[in-house]
Amino acid sequence: MIDRGTSTPGPWAAPGPWAALAVPQRARASAVLAVGLSLVLAGCAAGPLSSGDDRASAVAEEVAADVGAHSANAPEITLLEMVAWWVPEGTVYTGSGTALVEPLAWSGESAGSRATIDIRVAVEVDPSSSTQLFASGGGSATRCFRLEWEQYEQAQPSDIPCPDGPAPARPTPAPRPELTQADSDRIAAIVAGDGAAADVERALRDAFPQDFIRIETTAADGGVVAAVGIPAERECVLVFRDAAGAVTNPGFRQVSLEPGEIGCSTSLYTNPPF
């Protein structure tokens, strides 16, 4: 499957001050964050005149910057998925307190074209330790930002006035299609039959009639090889039945499924690109 976090890791997969969290192929933004050294330094840089509210405002800027750190070089990610996956849901915990991030408005098409998301960030910070060089009391800040993505770029947050009232309901993107383990087992069982390549292809098309699924079969090495995949999701099941009837899943490099490459094809077995 594709990486929903995009080619440039976002805040939950760790550029910026957040703790690293591996992004699965359908990952969501984590509700638990850890602010690193950069925020500690930000709190100290203002010197003894800094207040808890100043620190909270700085944390809000860091949160907005990390949401914007997701790369727009991911055209397959829709606008609703950007909001649902890139804007953390609920209260997140920072090294100095908590932050609530809410999407306020969104427009555009996808991460692969111009897209805009407005967010509100409400931060509460705890009093800093008296053992620090410049201690300060607790504080809070609420700031709103506009994040504008251009293709192949990260978003740079800009301040906007905060609206009154509650944020709208978060969008719920439609589920992404996928090939499950049960699907893989079903494909292998079909290929394991005694039919020729054309027979196997007809059986596979009957089993997987969806338009988004690509199916290809061919005779090879006295047997049959089949490739069944979802190109948009970078998914591919490759199955080979040899002349003796044994069924295997030949390996291939995942990069071959990327746009511009060979894709999910029987050539991954008969004429591998690497």
Answer for the pair 5, 84: CB distance below 8 angstroms, yes or no.
Answer: no
Q: What is the pLDDT of residues 83-133, one digit of tens each?
A: 998 999 988 887 778 999 999 999 987 766 788 999 999 999 888 665 455
User: Would you state the pLDDT for residue 122?
Assistant: 94
- Characterize the bridge pairing of strands 235-241 and 223-230: antiparallel
- Separation between Cα atoms, residue 195 and residue 200, nearest integer Å: 6
Share of the chain above pLDDT 90, in %: 52
* Secondary structure (H, E, C), the chain: CCCCCCCCCCCCCCCCCCCCCCCCCCCCCCCCCCCCHHHHHHHHHCHHHCCHHHHHHHHHHHHHHHHHCCCCCCCCCEHHHHHHHHCCCCEEEECCEEEEEEEEEEEECECCCCEEEEEEEEEEECCCCCCCCCCCCCEEEEEEEEEEECCCCCCEEEEECCCCCCCCCCCCCCCCCCCCHHHHHHHHHHHCCCCCHHHHHHHHHHHCCCCCCEEEEEEECCEEEEEEEEHHHCEEEEEEECCCCCEECCCCCHHHHCCCCCCCCCHHHHCCCC
Indicate the pTM of the whole model: 0.59
In this model, does residue 68 exceed pLDDT 50? yes
- Separation between Cα atoms, residue 19 and residue 14, nearest integer Å: 6
Instruction: Find the helix packing angle between 52-68 and 37-45, rounded to 10°.
Output: 140
**HSE-CB of 85 using CA atoms within 13 angstroms:** 29
Q: What is the pLDDT of residues 155-214, one digit of tens each?
A: 889 999 999 999 999 998 888 889 999 999 999 999 999 899 999 999 999 999 999 999
Tokens of 245: 């009837």
In the structure, what pLDDT confidence band is assigned to residue 1 with cuts at 50, 70 and 90?
very low
Rounded to an integer, the average pLDDT of 226-240 is 93
